[in-house]
A and B are shown apart, each in its own frame.
Chain A
Amino acid sequence: MKGKVWKFGDSISTDHISPGRYFHLRTNLPELTKHTLEDAREEYAANVKLGDIVVAGRNFGMGSSREHAAIMIKMSGASAVVAKSFARIFYRNAINVGLPAIICNTDKIADEDQLSIDLELGKLIDETKGFELNFTPIPKAMMKILSEGGLVPYIKKYGDLKL
């Protein structure tokens, strides 16, 4: 996957990504997606392009278990989230909805850089800056889910948890 970077800081919570005040829109995902990351960068939702990559600091997705946070980022068009670390539930949700969540040091990646990511090789290239990073591979059990496109297609295929 390739895309332009939207850079965020540390501790982006699910409240930043999917504010509780839009609770009533949770059964209208296209409408809810218009508020993606609104309390972190208000301009994100209206300007993100298909394939763009969300890049953040530590503990991305902390807080609530609302899966809508991961779904909204995916539906907004982003192809992956790259962060120094993820909160546990968000990480699991991201894989479950088929959104790659990649852990690596994001310090040198800047807003609007062009990135390309190879999930199989565990390699991230910052084409703008011209450097390459190896990232911690996604755990095997979760890679099985991700490679099916998420937990729903996984269960549809296997009918059971066979990790």
Chain B
Amino acid sequence: MGKTLSEKILSQKAGRNVSAGEIIVVDVDYMFAHDASGPLTLEQLKTMGMQKPAYPDKTIIIIDHAVPSPNKTISNNQYQLRKWAKETGSRFFEAGEGICHQVLAEDYASPGQIILGTDSHTVTAGALTAFGTGMGATDIAVAIGLGKTWLRVPETIRIKLEGNLPNGVYSKDAILTFIGKLSMEGATYKALEFTGSTISDMRMDERLTLSNMVVEAGAKVGLISSDETTKKYLESRGRGELFQKITPDKNAEYTETLEFDASKIEPIIAFPDTVDNIKTVSDAAGTEIHEVFIGSCTNGRIQDLRIAAKILKGKKVHQNTKLIVTPASRETLLLAVQDGTLQTLIKSGATITPPGCGVCFGALGGVPADGERTLTTTNRNFKGRTGNPLAGTYLASPATAAVTAIHGEISDPREVLQI
């Protein structure tokens, strides 16, 4: 029997042939905890009597959820994480270095690895053909303490995307289209595997957006075969030697294959309060928006900021709307400073916040007023997600977000990207 990407990676790690449905115990390449779940992770480690990580060089602590810390409780928690990382010789990323998934993609993830984090969007690493998945604090504590975890080898749904995405349509619109089709639980316990000419043609940043959101359909992992793009990306990040080509077997077994024609995909908006509640921008146009947020592990990369800047150049954010921009990492921020992207965004009226997760999960910054509508480039729009259960969250691509910021209402990016 042929193997899916999940089965390939997990067989390699298990050292034997494994297939969907099996429970395996495997070594973990990187495990990380951030400041939202890190304190609980350390407490569980302590309760289990595990004084230090099995592999400090594979253990990563990242401060990204509250950047910079807004109060002494959070500062004290972050202090404890910093202290523990130092004492145990674990890898540590200070507040401002970036969102964990972006940092992992930039400097750690590579094909064939198993990456676990105390965050559901750890699936982002799947774009680099790493089996990245999110777990709770206790599971991560065990992974840190033992250097391994248990996994059920998932069944796989294959998503085939062929052709060219039209101008003004992005991988964000594609993944929202897929989730709309699958529903929020359509891939629960399963892996998603992306294939087809559109995926092969995508840059790494576009692929990261796809893999990032698979958890919104319930998936455990969202994998893309490694190829020339993966190789070049790793080389550009100074870890070309970690490249290995991993592709699924031709006779791999999938529970389902969904096929999409890229040329038919339109700019999409996910309406409150679920990610699968999608409408085309054409159908949603005119909905008044009070705040636009461009950022997050989904769409806060330099290419996302550049698209926004291209649209906002010489324009002003609408008087009834606020625009907040959060680069996904320090490196993104620096690139955006160097190439003038930030200058363009700031001139248009954007407020820039430091790399982090705060605005996306409603804990720090950008909390909307009662009855307000926020349009964001993030991944979730559940009730209360942006910090106020009486406000609504709409999800879209950075291009849709930028053009919406100009008009103060949901607008179609294709109108400004014609040329």
Contact = CB atoms under 8 A, between A and B. Distances in A.
Interface of A: 11, 13, 15-16, 19-21, 23-24, 26-28, 39, 58-59, 62-68, 70-71, 85-89, 92-93, 96-97, 139, 141, 150-152, 155-156, 160-161, 163
A163 to B, nearest CB: 5
Contact of B49 (A11, A86, A92, A156): A156
A152 B138 contact: yes
30 contacts: A15-B362, A15-B380, A15-B383, A15-B384, A20-B385, A20-B387, A21-B362, A21-B384, A23-B361, A24-B363, A26-B36, A26-B39, A27-B73, A59-B185, A59-B218, A62-B184, A64-B361, A68-B37, A86-B188, A87-B188, A88-B188, A88-B218, A88-B220, A93-B138, A139-B152, A151-B139, A152-B44, A152-B138, A161-B150, A163-B23
Contacts of B49: 156
Contact of A152 (B47, B188, B218): B47
A64 B65 CA distance: 13
B135 interface: yes
A2 to B, nearest CB: 27
A152 B119 CA distance: 19
Q: Which 9 A-B pairs have the closest CB atoms?
A: A67-B136, A93-B136, A23-B363, A65-B134, A20-B361, A13-B382, A20-B362, A59-B185, A15-B382
Contacts of B65: 23
B142 A88 contact: no
Contact of B383 (A16, A68, A71, A139): A16
Contacts of B5: none
A96 B152 CA distance: 15
Contacts of B145: 155
Given A88-B188, A92-B136, A19 B389 contact: yes
B252 interface: no
Interface in B50-70: 65-66, 70
Contacts of A19: 362, 384, 389
Most buried by A among B49, B149, B188, B387: B188
Interface string B272-297: 00100000000000000000000000
A26 B120 contact: no
A86 B188 CA distance: 8
B48 A160 contact: no
A23 B66 contact: yes
Interface in B189-231: 189, 218, 220
Nearest to A160: B146
B345 interface: no
B382 A66 contact: no
B137 interface: yes
A89 B120 contact: yes
Interface of B: 23, 25, 36-37, 39-40, 44, 47-49, 65-66, 70-71, 73-74, 77, 117-120, 122, 134-139, 142, 145-146, 148-150, 152, 184-185, 188-189, 218, 220, 274, 361-364, 367, 380, 382-385, 387-389
A120 to B, nearest CB: 21
Given A26-B36, A156-B49, A161-B149, 9 more contacts: A13-B382, A21-B362, A23-B65, A26-B39, A27-B73, A65-B117, A66-B36, A85-B188, A139-B23
Contacts of A66: 36-37, 136
Contacts of A97: 136, 138
Contacts of B119: 64-65
A4 to B, nearest CB: 25
A27 B42 CA distance: 11
Nearest to A25: B73
A27 B117 CA distance: 19
Given A62-B184, A67-B138, A151-B142, A161 B148 contact: yes
A26 B35 CA distance: 10
Contact of B150 (A28, A71, A163): A163
A153 B117 CA distance: 22
A21 B65 CA distance: 12
B382 A152 contact: no
Contacts of B135: 65, 89, 92-93
B71 A24 contact: yes
B142 A27 contact: no
